């Protein structure tokens, strides 16, 4: 019974990762001019949030390593701060849900494996970065998440982790 629960938890984690991979919006290219335009139209509160957004590294790899360290220590709030501002609340909730369900350690293992196996993809500018990795689903399965059913077919799937450099020249996770 414990093996089935572990397998089910692993499938849920893999499913969330596959779904995130399917939801990739693409990379956002930000030049110096676009960085200023990024702040136009935002409330003063949001402008301050962008200006004060300093959690992250000087390289995408450094940011991801800092993110992993925060998750390892169980600090889901800090872990979410390594994402682009508009993604932080969503990831904070996801990580807290994983922590509450006692599957955070499995999620960390998966992310560590992605970090170990990823390959950098050439991008068009120096303010974005992409790293590809593969997920293997060993057998067809159906899982339910939030009253939705998803059929996962066995196979090898390519996913990406995309990074973006913020207005403070700090790398943030944009899509994972």
Give per-residue pLDDT as tens, 11-52: 555 555 544 444 433 333 334 455 555 556 567 776 777 788
The stretch 143-148 carries a mean pLDDT of 74
pLDDT of residue 7: 59
Least Cα distance to 53 among 40, 35, 70, 65 occurs for: 35
Give per-residue pLDDT as tens, 69-113: 999 999 999 999 999 999 999 999 999 999 999 999 999 999 999
- What does the alpha-carbon distance between residue 145 and residue 168 come to, in Å, rounded to a whole number? 37
pLDDT band, very low/low/confident/very high, at 148 (cuts 50, 70, 90): confident
Question: What is the residue range of 33's domain?
Answer: 2-175
Buried (b) or exposed (e) across 41-70, using 16+ Cβ within 10 A? eeeeeeeeebeebebbbeebbebbebbbeb
Percent of the chain with pLDDT over 70: 74
Sign of CA dihedral 141, 3, 71, 147: positive
The stretch 117-127 carries a mean pLDDT of 93
Please return the burial class of 163, using the count of CB atoms within 10 Å of its CB with bins 0-12, 13-18 and 19+.
Answer: buried
């Amino acid at each position: 019974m414990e093996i089935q629960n572990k397998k089910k938890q692993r499938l849920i984690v893999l499913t969330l990762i596959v779904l995130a991979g399917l939801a990739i919006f693409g990379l956002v290219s930000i030049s110096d001019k676009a960085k200023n335009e990024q702040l136009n139209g935002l409330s003063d509160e949001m402008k301050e949030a962008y200006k004060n957004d300093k959690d992250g590294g000087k390289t995408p790899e450094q940011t991801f390593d800092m993110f992993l360290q925060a998750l390892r220590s169980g600090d889901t709030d800090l872990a979410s701060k390594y994402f682009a501002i508009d993604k932080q609340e969503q990831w904070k909730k996801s990580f807290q849900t994983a922590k509450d369900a006692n599957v955070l350690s499995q999620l960390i293992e998966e992310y560590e494996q992605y970090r170990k196996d990823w390959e950098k993809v050439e991008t068009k500018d120096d303010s974005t970065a992409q790293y590809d990795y593969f997920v293997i689903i060993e057998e067809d399965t159906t899982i339910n998440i939030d009253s939705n059913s998803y059929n996962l077919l066995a196979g090898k799937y390519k996913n990406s982790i995309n990074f973006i450099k913020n207005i403070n020249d700090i790398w943030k996770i944009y899509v994972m």
